[in-house]
Structure 1
């Protein structure tokens, strides 16, 4: 069982040095997504699992370990990369798994709680009810080893062969199941049926795993709207849905919530009420973006790099006047303007909200007033703000970056025009394989890295339609001054 008497949670920014997070490594369920079910399971394409695991995600885990739990990897890179050990360090059911208390694997947490007979009975019953399993299968699952049962709940397969229910391939996007805001945990309500089991598993983990025992009273669950079951023809916009990609912790007092394809206005409203009622934050900004698959969550159109630097999609960030300045008015420009977000800021201690004209105005206000930046706010645009590269590279998550510490972010290697924009803004660009060798040799240290974007191989991971902001659930970050 994962144990850590000093385990703490606390996230008060998007850019404070990352100290602990929850992830889920690609499992066999991803290798069973078929074209006819891909979109039902929220995938745009089918992926090659071995390449995704050993050629891409493996780098992610090793990099996280160097930043968060270096003692478990420093000096071992050659051993870990040896042919006989490859595809082992990141696999939770392998003897050589890293077993870190800082880079925490969700499957391990699930295995831990399933060792308790009472929890196993409740969770098996709940999963079988959701998946319409027959009674004999339910009894068979109850008698299984906790580690094997955890794999089944995630992959949908017994012995990695016979499928008994659908996989949950989106669990690699761990941010969407919950968000840590200061010392509270907000459990989300996904919009799609394909993610229902993920939320159930997350709820059991947060309420039952010893790592979170000191925070049980700080767990916030979103209720459905009152008497929702009596509302005829309830559509997506009326349902209470909220996913983690639409929640950003800006500061100890301020959270952004997006209304998107996946997060409804009702979900945002319920979250605001609960955050204010529990005195979690003092200010919530709602950013309403078009309900399009192109955007999905707000973290697909902007993320933070430094307190005064943001990466974002220019076509959703600027006013009509600004568009006129940078390109001739045309049907294309007018079409872009139809997608402009609506931005409203709410306060716990006053009734009158504030409205912002565009994303750039909001992000500049955050940098100056929430984070105290004395430097001009800078914007790095997807595709270097050039059509069609802005839209192409936003689709492959050019704006979906994870800050390992302020100014050091992780992204995909395929977004060339966006990388040009980073270089023009004074950032170093380095491939993850090169950086790992430098960290191992000591020619570079985590502390010495500044203003750097680290590039991850992305031929398969990018097919899943999520970047590293999506693939991380930070539970502890250092406070920024």
Structure 2
């Protein structure tokens, strides 16, 4: 019998994933609080939901659960009042393969004990009074789920801050073979988000078979004793965008603006003790908002193909500059480089440094995924042309979701990156057009190959996260 929770690669055919459609909380982000809530801009909610994200969900359904969508596109598109994508609607698509977190939350809240504990925990985090606890506990589970996510009660009162980053379900955790690693967000804005997810994983029946395989990262128990200048690196914070399951035996962990070396070391210890993987590679990227997580710098397209930011692909220091740095005449650029260290579970293997991202990704393709060295290919953000590489990386040119090997979803706005994909033999197709081709039978999700599916992104790209961020795969087919 096929497992319901199993991910051993980034590009095996996607079978089940967790998503969260844009909720009303995103429409309540105000300029004065946007950065505190980890948003860079103010989005137009209806455009994001109806003209962008809904295409994303329809496409995922066609690839993962076509019976929920095939033959219904015209009906859905014609009726703008039909809430096909809202789990509290009678029209909801209700797939057990494209799974909405809000639906799972509402279902666990049907249990009064779970409901009581979660409401109490949320009120404690948000510093609310007992009367608020009482008010929330008396809400129906569907309404309570919406309130806990959006922060707004059914009467329209904005009780809590929104958690607009909930659409980025990649960050809530990562599936590592048949285990799930839960995140520890760095920013306070994501604390309630992590709490809701923790309750879902520990209480919903679909995770019953892996409940003993849930992994939580321990806190640094001595953190409160450290001087302020040492606290930053000693925190135990990790987000799923910094974790990639690239092969059954190999996990990547990014050290970034959001994930600390302390948390990474805890994960290495736990996974090696449990014998879940053989290799763990730490990839330290510059601590800058430009990058945030490693999946904003590179993602996988095929076993032998990767998309990445060229400026971080190889060491950038020239030989003459290296001599000047050693002599103390030039400031080291080390902070702007990628540093890579690989650990193996077998004690006889010493940790080894890897020179560059390109070397690491080539090794994964060759040694973990059985590709020939000469077949490994790289596609660069902005086609590696100045200034498009950096511009398009900022709008998530490197943040792609593979629905199957060689078929990826990415934003439509990154023209130079799309040009690079076309030069590599890919077809670039608008998501709306592809859906029509699926509906008419002109194309088939089962047989489509080497395709870049262009997701409309005028509003989604303002949120600083792409299709890879907006997904948490929990089941992929193995090669």
- Bin the TM-score by the shorter chain: over 0.9
Cα shift readout 1:231-266 (whole Å, capped 9, x = no counterpart):
332532210000000000011110000000000010
1:199 aligns with 2:194: yes
How far apart are residue 335 of structure 1 and its match?
9.5
Secondary structure of the residue that 1:43 maps to in structure 2?
A: coil
1:218 aligns with 2:217: no
Check 1:323–1:90 CA distance in 2 against 1; reply closer, same or farther (3 A cut): farther
1:81 aligns with 2:77: yes
Corresponding position of 1:357: 355
Secondary structure of the residue that 1:30 maps to in structure 2?
A: helix
Corresponding position of 2:324: none
How far apart are residue 376 of structure 1 and its match?
1.7
How far apart are residue 40 of structure 1 and its match?
0.2
Query: How many angstroms apart in 2 are the aligned matches of 1:62 and 1:90?
Result: 9
Secondary structure of the residue that 1:226 maps to in structure 2?
A: coil
Corresponding position of 1:366: 364
Corresponding position of 2:167: 172
Residue pair 1:317, 1:340 contacting (<8 A) in 2 also: no
Cα shift readout 1:191-245 (whole Å, capped 9, x = no counterpart):
1000001111111100100111111110000001233233332532210000000
Query: How many angstroms apart in 1 are the aligned matches of 2:408 and 2:239?
Result: 22
Query: How many angstroms apart in 1 are the aligned matches of 2:257 and 2:125?
Result: 24
Q: 2:242 aligns with which of 246, 249, 252?
A: 246
Q: 1:98 aligns with which of 90, 93, 97?
A: 93
How far apart are residue 101 of structure 1 and its match?
0.2
Q: 1:186 aligns with which of 172, 181, 184?
A: 181
How far apart are residue 83 of structure 1 and its match?
2.7
Corresponding position of 1:477: 476
Cα shift readout 1:264-285 (whole Å, capped 9, x = no counterpart):
0101111111111111111000
How far apart are residue 159 of structure 1 and its match?
1.5
Q: 1:284 aligns with which of 280, 286, 297?
A: 280
Query: How many angstroms apart in 2 are the aligned matches of 1:118 and 1:168?
Result: 24
Across the two proteins, how many residue pairs are aligned to each other?
Answer: 466
How far apart are residue 189 of structure 1 and its match?
0.3
Query: How many angstroms apart in 1 are the aligned matches of 2:192 and 2:90?
Result: 27
Q: 1:149 aligns with which of 138, 144, 149?
A: 144
How far apart are residue 6 of structure 1 and its match?
7.7
Corresponding position of 1:126: 121
1:347 aligns with 2:344: yes
**TM-score for both structures, normalised by structure 2:** 0.95
Corresponding position of 1:32: 28
Corresponding position of 1:392: 391
Query: How many angstroms apart in 2 are the aligned matches of 1:387 and 1:277?
Result: 45
Corresponding position of 1:449: 448
Matching of residues 424-443 of structure 1 within 5 Å: 424-443=423-442
Corresponding position of 1:328: none
Corresponding position of 1:331: none
Query: How many angstroms apart in 2 are the aligned matches of 1:320 and 1:193?
Result: 35
How far apart are residue 390 of structure 1 and its match?
0.5
Check 1:211–1:363 CA distance in 2 against 1; reply closer, same or farther (3 A cut): same
Check 1:19–1:11 CA distance in 2 against 1; reply closer, same or farther (3 A cut): same
Query: How many angstroms apart in 2 are the aligned matches of 1:66 and 1:136?
Result: 45
Q: 2:294 aligns with which of 271, 277, 298?
A: 298
Structure 1 stretches of 4+ moved >6 Å: 321-324, 334-337
Cα shift readout 1:89-127 (whole Å, capped 9, x = no counterpart):
211112111100000000000000000000001000000
Secondary structure of the residue that 1:311 maps to in structure 2?
A: strand
Query: How many angstroms apart in 2 are the aligned matches of 1:337 and 1:376?
Result: 31
Corresponding position of 2:327: none
Question: 5+ residue gaps in structure 2?
Answer: 321-330
Tell me the C-alpha RMSD between the 2 structures: 1.7
Residue pair 2:223, 2:231 contacting (<8 A) in 1 also: no
